[in-house]
Structure 1
Amino acid sequence: MAASLILLSVSPGEQRTALLADGVLEAAFVERPSHPEGVGDLHVGRLAARAPAMAGAFVALAGGETGFLPDSDGAKGRTEGEWLRVAITRAAQGGKGPRLAHRPAPEAITGPPRLLSRGPDAALRLAAQHPDALVQTDSAAAAARLRPMLGERVSFSPRPVFDDALEAVFEELAGHEVALQGGGRLTIHPTPALVAIDVDAGGVAGGRDAAAHLSLNQATLAEAARQIRLRHLAGAILLDLAGMPMARRKALLPAMQQAAAADPHLRVVGITGLGLIELQRRRVHTPLHEVLGQPPSALTRGLAALRRGVRQAQARPGAPLVLTAHPAVWQALRDCPGALDAFTQAAGPLTFQADPLCPSGREDIHAG
């Protein structure tokens, strides 16, 4: 059995969680405490409107948000205006509210709509799913929060728990391209309607070696399924293999099903008329490209700069620091509750130097 390790890396405005099995990344989460996705949150809500055509009902939640409660998860037989205790089971998506499930209360529920409790973060969810895994974090506050629930499984590291290699993997998860062993690459393009994944054969492309094409595509299936899982991609997913006639693509379906078997949310639908492998993945958590933005949002760029800046400050403590970035990045950081305060506490005061021409990803924190 693979030895599992959960790493929780906390930086200003953000926490990143990784599950490693024998050193290989098996799960990845990027969470922002100021913008929680809500999965697992427990609410008191009011059934606002029945939706028979959708086999469910809309429920008004705190803060003006509206969630959807399917008949199969507790809406059936309920009446408009009724107060319910509900849990969020699927993160909100593209303007649509979260998916809900009814959670019976031990006593009568009355209004107003309110949040009763937050759901577990990624570290706690992974710890529950992998009870033998140790948890390491570089945040003393996170260690103190987790120890009452996880006990001696939790350890605190004064040094960053993400090494350069793991930081690089998380950077790759934020991008479109994934290099394949042996050459070639995956290109991942999420759209509002579906996710398109293209296989570039690299040096194999244009060759006449059918066995090489087959070997490349067979190796690609496992990596495609892994990337889908790590990125929390959801909905319709189309995978376009490199070369190969339709009959040989169909022959790869059993291998695709085997690769998808490790992910309980992923289902292989079949082959489309154009020869694309069609997959469907149930949405639970927010896909990484929605958290980070595509291209990366001003907040993502700013938080990445703060993350790098904290590491620089640990290497050179006491030096006054300056952030050089586009003004939109600075404004996004100022609008993110607690991010700049957390940086000041960890690394010291930070001043801002505006650069309207600063390219995305080139934000820099340096000694003043």
Structure 2
Amino acid sequence: MKGRVVILDHVGDRAAAALVVDGRLEDLLIDPEGDAPLTGAIYRAIADRPVKGQGGMFVRLPGGLSGFLRQISGIAPGQRIIVQVTGPAEPGKAIPVTTRLLFRSRWAIVTPGAPGLNISRRIKDEDTRAALQTLADDGMAGAAPDHGLILRSACETAEPEAIAEDIRAMRDLAAAVTADLAGDAELLLDGPDAHDSAWRDWAEPEPDEVAQDAFAELGIWDMIDALRTARVDLPGGGHMMIEPTRALVAIDVNTGPDTSPAAALKANISAARDLPRQLRLRGLGGQVVVDFAPMPKKDRGTLDQVLKAAFRGEGESNLAGWTTLGLYELTRKRDRTPLASLLEGLE
């Protein structure tokens, strides 16, 4: 399977999508079961009660659901607010929400409360940036003063008419939703399912092929089965074990049969390069602790650079660094339901 291939399928009655690049699974999206809110869903919520010591507030959502909001400055109990789901809820906990809304589409992101017109830094050509700036100025003319716009990197190869239409659609949607404050708690805009997210976020670079209902035919199920085990084999015979617990994700890196002086560094570099992909595919986040294979302290600088490069562009990740025990700590935003939970009950 050469090139960049997007495969759209279903797991039971749930939408699922896979991104494969040159035969390697790079991303995987599967919708949660039941009525669990999708990440990105926008609600009219009612502020409930602040939680002292946690810097947040519970908010009431429709259907008896509860959300937890951290940005509570100026919000009083009983006030109606517009919030967006930022990720899945952990078992027994409220749904994480934010008042910092993002109206995302394939080319444009409208940002209420964050004014300014911005173009992706990945677009380097000055003529292209100038043309996009004109589209942004025209498209946001008449928008609310506090509504901003981000034009995504996919705009570099898109038709100007399509970008302009996308800007207008997101601008008008943002204006309508943010003004809808009257009434009880209500779902105002559902989050994108796996197929919508694939169309929106995997457009750049443009896929070489888009396949429908082809998980079995293209071997995606075999790739998914490999993610159900803790062991990840590394080049050179080493491996790492990825084991999520209630509190954190524990990762252990082993050199395997290689006994050369550079065995530990080679295994650690291989593990570091693959770590963001493995966490993304497995839907793991929160605190991550890595027990790299023992190596001289002088090699830590090299591994630090590899980790920084690997996690660049991975969203909200924080590389905290080394502990006194020689473990490496990092955090990654919990923006997906763990794959193991999504596949429960499937053979």
With the length of structure 1 as denominator, give the TM-score of the two structures.
0.66
The SS at the match of 1:77 is coil
| Residue matched to 1:95 | 92
| Residue matched to 2:81 | 84
The equivalent position to 1:191 in structure 2, one of 235, 242, 245, is 245
The equivalent position to 1:122 in structure 2, one of 194, 219, 228, is 194
Confirm whether residue 261 of structure 1 aligns to residue 312 of structure 2.
Answer: yes
For 1:171-186, what aligned pairs fall within 5 Å after superposition? 171-186=225-240
Q: Is the CA contact (8 Å cut-off) linking 2:17 and 2:198 kept in structure 1?
A: no
Aligned amino acid, residue 92 of structure 1: A
Answer with 265-274 or 36-45: which moved more.
Answer: 36-45
Q: How far does residue 177 in structure 1 lie from its aligned partner after superposition?
A: 1.3
Q: How far does residue 44 in structure 1 lie from its aligned partner after superposition?
A: 2.1
For 1:104-123, what aligned pairs fall within 5 Å after superposition? 105=177, 107=179, 109-123=181-195
Deviations 1:119-145 (A, max 9, x none): 10122122212322354222xxxxxxx
Q: How far does residue 85 in structure 1 lie from its aligned partner after superposition?
A: 2.5
| Residue matched to 1:221 | 272
Deviations 1:143-187 (A, max 9, x none): xxxxxxxxxxxxxxxxx3443632111011122111222212211
Q: Is the CA contact (8 Å cut-off) linking 1:43 and 1:114 kept in structure 2?
A: yes
Q: Relative to structure 1, is the Cα distance of residues 16 and 272 closer, same or farther in structure 2, using a 3 angstrom cutoff?
A: same
Aligned amino acid, residue 289 of structure 1: A
Q: Relative to structure 1, is the Cα distance of residues 166 and 182 closer, same or farther in structure 2, using a 3 angstrom cutoff?
A: farther
Deviations 1:173-216 (A, max 9, x none): 12211122221221111111110111122112xx3x21233222
Gaps of 5+ in 2: 102-111, 113-176
Aligned amino acid, residue 219 of structure 1: S
Aligned amino acid, residue 280 of structure 2: R
Deviations 1:30-53 (A, max 9, x none): 324525452111222211112353
1:57 and 1:276 map into 2 onto residues whose CA distance is 34
| Residue matched to 1:242 | 293
Q: Relative to structure 1, is the Cα distance of residues 161 and 289 closer, same or farther in structure 2, using a 3 angstrom cutoff?
A: closer
Q: Is the CA contact (8 Å cut-off) linking 1:47 and 1:58 kept in structure 2?
A: yes
> Identity percentage over the alignment?
31
Aligned amino acid, residue 94 of structure 1: P
2:82 and 2:297 map into 1 onto residues whose CA distance is 50
Confirm whether residue 38 of structure 1 aligns to residue 46 of structure 2.
Answer: no
Q: How far does residue 81 in structure 1 lie from its aligned partner after superposition?
A: 0.8
Confirm whether residue 136 of structure 1 aligns to residue 211 of structure 2.
Answer: yes
Q: How far does residue 244 in structure 1 lie from its aligned partner after superposition?
A: 1.6
Q: How far does residue 262 in structure 1 lie from its aligned partner after superposition?
A: 3.7
Deviations 1:266-285 (A, max 9, x none): 22211111111211111112
Q: Is the CA contact (8 Å cut-off) linking 1:9 and 1:162 kept in structure 2?
A: no
Q: How far does residue 29 in structure 1 lie from its aligned partner after superposition?
A: 2.0
Q: How far does residue 234 in structure 1 lie from its aligned partner after superposition?
A: 0.7
The SS at the match of 2:235 is coil
Q: CA RMSD in A?
A: 2.4
For 1:272-311, what aligned pairs fall within 5 Å after superposition? 272-292=323-343, 300-301=344-345, 303-304=346-347
Q: How far does residue 7 in structure 1 lie from its aligned partner after superposition?
A: 0.9
Q: Is the CA contact (8 Å cut-off) linking 1:46 and 1:113 kept in structure 2?
A: yes
1:60 and 1:185 map into 2 onto residues whose CA distance is 45
Aligned amino acid, residue 252 of structure 2: D
Q: Is the CA contact (8 Å cut-off) linking 1:89 and 1:101 kept in structure 2?
A: yes
2:211 and 2:35 map into 1 onto residues whose CA distance is 24
Q: How far does residue 108 in structure 1 lie from its aligned partner after superposition?
A: 5.2
Q: Is the CA contact (8 Å cut-off) linking 2:16 and 2:195 kept in structure 1?
A: no
The SS at the match of 1:63 is helix
| Residue matched to 1:4 | 4
The SS at the match of 1:54 is coil
Q: Relative to structure 1, is the Cα distance of residues 211 and 177 closer, same or farther in structure 2, using a 3 angstrom cutoff?
A: same
Q: Is the CA contact (8 Å cut-off) linking 2:37 and 2:85 kept in structure 1?
A: no
Q: Relative to structure 1, is the Cα distance of residues 203 and 115 closer, same or farther in structure 2, using a 3 angstrom cutoff?
A: same
Q: Is the CA contact (8 Å cut-off) linking 2:43 and 2:82 kept in structure 1?
A: yes
Confirm whether residue 68 of structure 1 aligns to residue 140 of structure 2.
Answer: no
Q: Relative to structure 1, is the Cα distance of residues 128 and 249 closer, same or farther in structure 2, using a 3 angstrom cutoff?
A: same
1:84 and 1:48 map into 2 onto residues whose CA distance is 11
Aligned amino acid, residue 202 of structure 1: G
1:100 and 1:3 map into 2 onto residues whose CA distance is 37
Aligned amino acid, residue 323 of structure 2: T
Gaps of 5+ in 1: 139-159, 293-299, 305-368
Q: Is the CA contact (8 Å cut-off) linking 2:46 and 2:78 kept in structure 1?
A: yes
The SS at the match of 1:182 is helix
Confirm whether residue 203 of structure 1 aligns to residue 257 of structure 2.
Answer: yes
1:20 and 1:85 map into 2 onto residues whose CA distance is 36
2:297 and 2:93 map into 1 onto residues whose CA distance is 37
With the length of structure 2 as denominator, give the TM-score of the two structures.
0.70
